[in-house]
Structure 1
């Protein structure tokens, strides 16, 4: 049954209202747990305002450890509303509403309006992101940019208009200033365009979007080149993240539910290295470990994959003796947050199972699922190579929910119906069945004279 536009519009309004109210309730009841210290972005934003320097250090020495988009966004919000958490949360709630709307449009493009509405609803009340996306971190912004880029990728394919391809490049460029690896999405999207709309158009749109992406990145890359006097693309934390995820003890840490960033088996960083040299040293250590221990690859990458797609929230505990800058992270071990972990398992597990089933069904039925599948596979590969956590995977969850929604809409058609009365008997469906005849007096017409 096809849903009318007016009906789907009404449902969408209700879903957006629920998305808004649920986040406002989290903001009201958990505002005391929101902390600037829970991430490193606040230090950058504060120093940008106070010293006009992009740095995490109080001495004002500039650095490039974290990508710049989210800290600069925070700085803009601080300049308008002061150094307060609530305006940041409200801004990110607004982005979440737009994301829910985009999830509806993407789900509708993949299948139909029902799938879009369910995907938007699954996203709107997803417990993990209810809290995560009102906190001071880049998750809400990154998810929004991903949904915009996937939506525009479809629009480019459907309209063949270069403006949409240019917008894809701009959006992926902004997303790369949040998570640099995501710029790899563009060439894979280009291959998908070539497959869908032909070589000439596909190449044209890929080159155009790549040019716009490089234009977006150029100011920051130039700043890094002038600052470090050598090539630094976006940030200098890639080497340390790679090293934290590829060493002799990370598997045991992940198996205990501990975060890879707390591993204690890494060699001490040599003295006298600058920021870029330290990044290169960490990368070399990680690559050396992988090259020298190929027999460990199945165990290492297998564990990281299982942790990344674990239905439970990871990390789940803090290792004994962990060196903590402050005790902010310990609040996640409180009773309220432990209860939230249980809620997450009961919410996410069935949707993950449905998502896998929906993906298989959609693939078999030749639905146009390329962009979200590319994003899921690319991001999974990156975090299996580096190191995993629920927060790193969570930007993929809305796209998993599209396939969960599709599976839900197909459950009725997949159900095997058993005849339960003679009235449901159909001789045409069983040629070997004996025909049943009724006497004239047993006809169903009204026999009243």
Structure 2
């Protein structure tokens, strides 16, 4: 078997593994294809010609891309609708694993590391589990790896095209946009290329993002009388993880406490009363400003909450109060070795140069977002392809890894 045939065979293995695991996950347990964020009602509204509305009112509370994609399926009902969503998520999951494989190849990581990256995406429990819900994680992960694959392709128009895909990712999950911003900055400063080449690729990414976002901004300016670049949900998500009740119940409560129950419902009710009669942008600003005031008045507690959210985002096991012992053991057995490989792979030289640096920028960007905003383990699902690419790079030459670690230590010592 030649190298090309071997690569095709391994790519097929990656794709089939992704399909098989997601089929297994979708066929078991309760709560399959729950729609907690009301994407199906939004899709039905679009399909009916009413635009992005909820209960008859225009909304920007949820991002538009996922309900737009679901809209052609909205005429279906019952099991047919669930089967259609399942089929969509299966295709996206398989494509995400396959693109992780191709991206690793394009970055020059070799066939075996590409296979490792693809299998990590195929088998990741968080990403696979989210395929069984009517939520945006599956689509967001696909869009991220599609952008990384386009960066790695290296064509003349790749920065602009990949920027457009990152703009779509922002219309799917706005938390992708900080990573896009970091990627623009990295493209402007890292080698290879002179100043002109770096500016061209950085500007291309930024233009691609802005062009794709612009129709959404224009629509919101028309509907609400002011531009909304992402959604009107950000203030709520920020306040959900930064309020006095949360601080009291979770940060100052028993270790491992998960915020749920009566106190949370009372807080939700108080928010609804405070924002009653406001437009979505007004309510969004009110909640965001309340968090700014809280951070100013209690900076130490705010910092503590940020660190706690970061720990939750990167937790190796799900919350004990929500998931059973078997689920926690299986997740930990997968995640702990993966995190070890992630740390080792982060020293790979390809991730300090263009286009490889776009991979860690996606990881850092989402991590920063969920240091400030409400988070749990599922929030990291969109960056699983980026994690897989870095982790798969852990197995490189020992002498190169030693040099990389030495350089990091030396630079840290020098800056100190």
TM-score by length of 2: 0.83
Gaps of 5+ in 2: 403-416
2:377 to 390, 414, 418: 390
* Contact persistence 1:89–1:136 (CA under 8 A): no
Q: Does 1:129 align with 2:127?
A: yes
Distance 1:193 1:367, change over 3 A: closer
Task: Give the CA deviation at 1:374.
Answer: 0.8
For residues 367 and 234 of structure 1, what CA distance do their matches in structure 2 show? 30
1:324-369 superposed Cα distances (whole Å, 9 cap, x missing partner):
xxxxxxxxx6x6xx63333112111211122112223x15996764
* Contact persistence 1:253–1:263 (CA under 8 A): no
Distance 1:379 1:48, change over 3 A: same
* Contact persistence 2:40–2:74 (CA under 8 A): no
| Number of residue pairs matched by the alignment | 387
1:182-237 superposed Cα distances (whole Å, 9 cap, x missing partner):
23333422333232222212222332332332222222211111111122223101
Where does residue 414 of structure 2 map in the other structure? none
For residues 400 and 412 of structure 1, what CA distance do their matches in structure 2 show? 23
Where does residue 188 of structure 1 map in the other structure? 182
Where does residue 288 of structure 1 map in the other structure? 293
* Contact persistence 1:311–1:345 (CA under 8 A): yes
DSSP-derived class of the 1:149 partner:
helix
Task: Give the CA deviation at 1:95.
Answer: 1.3
For residues 260 and 172 of structure 1, what CA distance do their matches in structure 2 show? 33
- Structure of greater Rg: 1
Where does residue 273 of structure 1 map in the other structure? 278
- Higher RCO (C-alpha 8 Å, min separation 6): 2
TM-score by length of 1: 0.78
* Contact persistence 2:22–2:129 (CA under 8 A): yes
DSSP-derived class of the 1:300 partner:
helix
For residues 6 and 367 of structure 1, what CA distance do their matches in structure 2 show? 30
Superposed, 1:19-168 pairs within 5 Å as 19-30=18-29, 33-50=31-48, 52-57=50-55, 60-79=56-75, 84-108=81-105, 109=107, 111-156=109-154, 159=155, 161=156, 163-168=157-162
For residues 353 and 203 of structure 2, what CA distance do their matches in structure 1 show? 26
Gaps of 5+ in 1: 319-332, 416-449
DSSP-derived class of the 1:236 partner:
coil
For residues 367 and 297 of structure 1, what CA distance do their matches in structure 2 show? 35
Where does residue 242 of structure 1 map in the other structure? 238
Between stretches 373-382 and 46-55, larger displacement belongs to 46-55
1:244-265 superposed Cα distances (whole Å, 9 cap, x missing partner):
1222343443653425894755
For residues 303 and 103 of structure 2, what CA distance do their matches in structure 1 show? 35
Distance 1:174 1:413, change over 3 A: closer
Between stretches 373-382 and 97-106, larger displacement belongs to 97-106
Distance 1:407 1:265, change over 3 A: same
Q: Does 1:227 align with 2:223?
A: yes
RMSD: 2.9
Task: Give the CA deviation at 1:105.
Answer: 2.1
DSSP-derived class of the 1:53 partner:
coil
Distance 1:364 1:372, change over 3 A: closer
1:31-76 superposed Cα distances (whole Å, 9 cap, x missing partner):
x53134333212211233346231232xx11111111111111112
